[in-house]
Amino acid sequence: MAESKVRKAAAPKAKSAVKAKPAVKPRKPESHLAMVRRARKINRELAELYPYAHPELDFDNPFELLVATVLSAQTTDLRVNQTTPALFAKYPMPEDMAAAVPEELEEIIRPTGFFRAKAKSLIGLSIALRDDFGGEVPGRLADLVTLPGVGRKTANVVLGNAFGVPGITVDTHFGRLARRFGWTAEEDPEKVEAAVAEIFPKSEWTMLSHRVVFHGRRICHSRKPACGACPIAPLCPSYGEGETDPEKAKKLLKYEMGGQPGQRLRPPADFPGEAAARADADAHQGQVADLAVAR
């Protein structure tokens, strides 16, 4: 994808100074029921904040999503989206990728990093799709995780977004936020997935995953969460882990729909188109500030 096609980052549109109130921390240990209620409220708030939450990898079919998800390890979705058009032009089907010359495939995916290991996985999984699954990506977790380079996280991304099967995707953002929200203390992604699955109905799993990841990428960052500008602050026991000064926190916000890492370059038909997405992003930036003021 040409760099020129990448939209410029929209400037934050805060209309008034953000005056975030400190979160109310529970005085006594929270019961499980109270935690579940608070968790579901966080999900509802995130749904309002990120109505356009969606998978940020470009894909047109399950095979493309599977390949893009394997490539997304240790790199940004934007980098993957810039790499996959050439890749899928040359290897559109599993049979094509299964027969790839490794060095040629490596050269195309080199910008995504770890390109030798990723090329090995892509060729391996393509061979397995060709030989064991009739050239189709299987729609079952048990089958997907047998493919080279495909773990539960990748399998859940594919199931949730290409097959409509509910799945919780525990990547680095999701795990970090689930712990900060007090949903679990587990570090192991599979244990985090199991704990979160107990809190939310299945029908919410896929969109919950997108919303939490959106929040992690935009506001609740790994090293410097923007607590002072976070609309979830009143519901978050980790308020104060990051910057609480509203003005300083506002400067930490990242809106990746503007062309920064994580932007989906080709929004699918069932998500807002480019113009709508831009309008949503602009409106959203004002909304974050307004919600923070309201609290």
Rounded Cα–Cα distance for residues 255 and 65 (Å): 23
Task: Name which position in 18, 53, 97, 232 contacts ligand SF4 (CB under 6 A).
Answer: 232
Least distance between ligand SF4 and beta carbon 80 (Å) = 26
Backbone angles phi, psi at 119, to 5 degrees: -65, -40
Q: Pick the catalytic residue: 90, 171, 254, 282?
A: 171
Q: Decide: is 246 part of the binding site for ligand SF4 (CB under 6 A).
A: no
Name the residue among 277, 286, 181 with its Cα closest to residue 233.
Answer: 181
The sign of the CA dihedral 293, 274, 6, 123 is positive
Return the range that interacts with ligand SF4 (CB under 6 A); candidates 5-13, 26-34, 217-225, 273-281: 217-225
Q: Pick the catalytic residue: 58, 77, 153, 250?
A: 153
Return the range that interacts with ligand SF4 (CB under 6 A); candidates 84-92, 113-121, 220-228, 263-271: 220-228
Task: Name which position in 219, 257, 277, 289 contacts ligand SF4 (CB under 6 A).
Answer: 219
Within 8 A by CB and 6+ apart from 169, the residues are 153, 156, 157, 160, 206, 209, 213
Q: Does residue 262 contact residue 52 with C-beta atoms inside 8 Å?
A: no
Q: Decide: is 242 part of the binding site for ligand SF4 (CB under 6 A).
A: yes
Nearer to ligand SF4, 189 or 225 (CB): 225
Known catalytic membership, residue 171: yes
74: alpha, beta or left? (left if phi > 0; alpha if psi -120 to 50): left
User: Could you say which residues in the range 170-199 bind ligand SF4, by CB under 6 A?
Assistant: 180
Known catalytic membership, residue 153: yes
Residues with a catalytic annotation lie at 153, 171
